[in-house]
Amino acid sequence: MTTTIRPELSERNKYWIEKHRYYELKHFCLQYPMWKKALSYILAIHSRSINLPTQKSQTSLTEQHAIERLYFTNRIEMVERVAAATDKMLGSYILQAVTEGCSYDVLKLRYDIPCCKDSYYELYRRFFWLLDKERQ
């Protein structure tokens, strides 16, 4: 399910970002489940002491895993940190919405989100505005 929010706001809105930047950030967040899965895979492989065949390269397998782990961890933490900064009480709902594409109606039905639709979408826009500042 996707969130049905207008991609472009009035430039007078305090959380305005350009339409295509919003889409870029939205698609960035929708990669969150893939990052979590990739990170758990890297951690599972690294925790086993097996010798995988490697290509001749400048970096060892351990270095490659460390670089990949850092890559995914940084992105996961960034999205989680911005969601928490958006609103302390509703941050978990915002995180779920932006990473899974849930709309307010879905959150209300499944989890009984404790706010009105207008407040939720205000926070939703604030999340992307903060993420835009974080990713610059």
Query: Which has the closest alpha carbon to 61: 45, 75, 74?
Result: 45
Q: Is 90 exposed, middle or buried (0-12, 13-18, 19+ CB in 10 A)?
A: buried
pLDDT digit of tens for each residue in the chain (136 aa)?
555 555 566 777 798 899 999 999 999 999 999 999 999 998 887 665 445 555 555 668 888 888 999 999 999 999 999 999 999 999 999 999 999 999 999 999 999 999 999 999 999 999 999 999 999 8
How high is the pLDDT of residue 64? 86
Q: What is the pTM of this model?
A: 0.82
Q: Which two tokens stand for residue 56?
A: 């001749």
